[in-house]
Amino acid sequence: RNRPNSHPRALARLREIAETAPDQLASFGIDEYVVEREGVRAAAYEELSATSPRELRIADVRAWSEWLELYRRRLLREREAAPDAVAAAQHRVEIMNRANPRFVLRQHMAAKAI
C-alpha cells in the first residue's frame, strides 16, 4: 500500500532528468513534485522495511500514547472552558453525529445488491 510507485532505477533516472532537463519531465506527464514525493515514499518504505516488527510495535505504542495524551488534554481544556460539562458533552456528540455517516456501505453488500 505504501510502496513507491516507481522502481528504484526508474526513480533514479527520473531524478537525473529532473536535475538535468526538468522540461523533459513534462513530456512524461510528470513534474518535479511527483519525483520528490516518490523519493520520500521510497525512503519511508525502505526505512519501514528495515524495521523489525518489535520496533514497529514499540513505535506504534509510543505514537498512540502521545496522541491519546494530547486528546485527553484537549478534552480537559474543553470541559474546563464549558460552563456546563453535560451540555458540552452533548454538544460534542451532536457534532460527531453530524460529521460521521450514519451508515457505511460495505463493498461485499454493494456487490450482493448489484
Mean pLDDT of the chain, nearest integer: 89
In the chain, where the domains are located: 1-50, 53-114
pLDDT at 84 (0 to 100): 87
pLDDT at 1 (0 to 100): 57
Residue 24 neighbours by CB under 8 Å, 6+ apart: 17
Region of 21 please: left (phi>0), alpha (psi -120 to 50) or beta: beta
Q: What is the pLDDT of residues 34-90, one digit of tens each?
A: 899 999 999 989 888 899 999 999 999 999 999 999 999 998 888 888 888 888 888
